[in-house]
């Protein structure tokens, strides 16, 4: 978990923070919520340690919007398997991924103002359209 947070810190310092300071939008595919879901929810690491690492390495940094592209575990694993390049997390099996998914869903329920849950089982065009609607509504984009 410490290695993941070190990578998150480096990404914050080298890329995200300077981009925000320059007035740019930043889209990031994983941040501290992923560490919570995978390491705490999926692998059983301490939530208290997660919170300490988050506070010490990222402070009060929080995304304005977090999009959770959600689908049932079996569908997600099938989609990943169809790519043919399973990573070490994808090989951990459905029980692990069920815990990860539930942790993400719990976070979304706990922070509905920050999270938007998108049905990722829909066709890609519908998922893209849903993302655009959420971004326009939540971030004031036209």
Domains in the chain, CATH or no CATH each: 1-62 (no CATH), 64-142 (3.40.50.300)
The answer to which of 48-57, 59-68, 81-90, 96-105 has the lowest mean pLDDT is 81-90
Q: What is the pTM of this model?
A: 0.90
CA–centroid distance for 70 within its chain: 10
Length of the chain: 142
Summarised one tens digit per residue, pLDDT across range 74-111 is 999 888 878 777 677 777 889 999 999 999 999 999 99
Residue 86: predicted pLDDT? 65
């Amino acid at each position: 978990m410490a290695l993941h947070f070190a990578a998150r810190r480096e990404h914050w310092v080298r890329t995200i923070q300077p981009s925000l300071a320059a007035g740019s939008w930043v889209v990031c595919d994983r941040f501290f919520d992923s560490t919570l879901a995978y390491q705490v929810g999926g692998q059983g690491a301490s939530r208290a340690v997660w919170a300490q690492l988050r506070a010490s390495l990222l402070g009060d940094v929080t995304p304005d919007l977090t999009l959770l592209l959600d689908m049932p575990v079996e569908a997600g694993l099938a989609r990943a398997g169809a790519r043919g390049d399973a990573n070490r997390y994808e090989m951990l099996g459905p029980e692990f991924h069920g815990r990860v998914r539930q942790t993400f869903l719990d976070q979304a329920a706990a922070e509905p103002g920050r999270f938007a849950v998108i049905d990722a089982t829909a066709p890609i065009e519908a998922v893209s359209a849903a993302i655009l609607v959420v971004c326009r509504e939540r971030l004031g984009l036209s």
